[in-house]
Amino acid sequence: MIKLPNIVILGDYERALRRFSQWDKLDQHSNLTIHHEPLRDEALYEAVKDADAIAIVRDRSPFNEAMIARLPKLKFLMFTGERNGTLEAASLVSRNIPMACTPGGPSKETTAELTWALILGASKRLIEQNTLISKGGWRDELSVLPMLSGERLGIMGMGAIGSRVARVGAAFGMEVVTWSPRMTPERAAAENTKSVSLEELLKTSKVVSMHLVAGPGTKGLISADQLALMRPDSILINTSRSALINMADLQKGLALGRPGQAAVDVFDIEPLPQNDALRNTPNLLLTPHLGFIAEPIFATFSKGIVETLESWLDNKPLPHPFKP
């Protein structure tokens, strides 16, 4: 009797993967298990200890060197999207275990959309207005709101997402300025924005939106000293990575009134623990990491996982091999 390979898929929180592809071949030619709940540490190990192949949705399941060393049966690992911040890929390279990824889909577009949903939701106090209506009320003192038109929008990171956010801000009539570690006046001008220092951006912007890659030079970039520079009526937005902000300092800063509000889609631990104080922090609008949660993206992920695992089963070239 032929022994079928064990394939484990991790992190399908939305139960979306089977909706967008045909899984018949994988079901017939492997022992396929799809996990929908968050798994870490020993629970993660128990789920993958007998796996020949592992597929990870985004970076929801951390694989460090110690975990990988405990998986002697592992022959292949893949993840969705084009990068994974919780995978110590060097440990796989040292064992000659091949890796692959999938295309990311239109995640930049949908993250820019969510960024503006958060900016508008915070600036127009939509949660508070909806609560007022649901409780039988009408306008109150929070209903007299400022406008974004004519205000300054500070973009930290003018990449594919930041540039989209900037263009919308300009369309709303905002003055757009930008900063990043490698920003130049010429790069800023090419996006019809102005390059300023980080200090100026924080001191003068009504809205500060973060679109940087979290790395050695940007982790913890925004902490107590930087928050203290912000306007008391400012709004800090983060749809990038939580590591960019010291979240404990952000809670303290909100209590002190700098910034006036924040809206965050990313967290140090995801899913956010039920007892986390962030859930009940005043002037903080939270969303459950929705930046890339969209049907076209999960259709891309699903198709990429199925095509890649079928190629691996058939010993064919991988569609999107990953080389760190």
Residue located via tokens 């800023």: 188
pLDDT at position 83, please?
Answer: 87
CA atoms within 13 A on the CB side of 4: 12
CATH number belonging to domain 6-106+294-313: 3.40.50.720
Q: What is the pLDDT of residue 1?
A: 64
SS3 8: strand
The closest of 128, 145, 113, 152 to 294, measured between CA atoms, is: 113
Question: Tokens in use for 181?
Answer: 């570690």
6-106+294-313 against 107-286: fold identical: yes
The residues facing 222 across adjacent strands are 245
What six digits make up the tokens of 226?
A: 């930087």
Structure tokens at 155: 């973009």
Instruction: Judge contact between 282 and 26, C-beta under 8 A.
Output: no
- Domain borders along the chain are 6-106+294-313, 107-286
Q: Whole-prediction pTM value?
A: 0.90
Check residue 318 and report its DSSP letter.
P
pLDDT by residue for the chain (324 residues), tens only, comes to 679 999 999 999 999 999 999 999 999 999 999 999 999 999 999 999 999 999 999 989 999 999 999 999 999 999 999 889 899 999 999 999 999 999 999 999 999 999 999 999 999 999 999 999 999 999 988 889 999 999 999 999 999 999 999 999 999 999 999 999 999 999 999 999 999 999 999 999 999 999 998 888 899 999 999 999 999 999 999 999 999 999 999 999 999 999 999 999 999 999 999 999 999 999 999 999 999 999 999 999 999 999 999 999 999 999 999 988
Which SS3 state, helix, strand or coil, does residue 66 take? helix
Note the pLDDT tens digit of each residue in 179-188. Answer: 999 999 999 9
- Number of Cβ within 10 Å of residue 155's Cβ equals 32
What's the pLDDT score for residue 8? 98
Alpha carbon distance 82, 60 (integer Å): 14
The pLDDT value recorded for residue 141 is: 85
* Spatial distance between the Cα atoms of 225 and 240, rounded to a whole number of angstroms: 21
Q: Does the structural domain 107-286 have CATH classification 3.40.50.720?
A: yes
Measured between alpha carbons, how far is 123 from 118 in angstroms, rounded to an integer?
A: 8
**295-313 and 107-123 are packed helices; what angle lies between their axes, rounded to 10 degrees?**
150
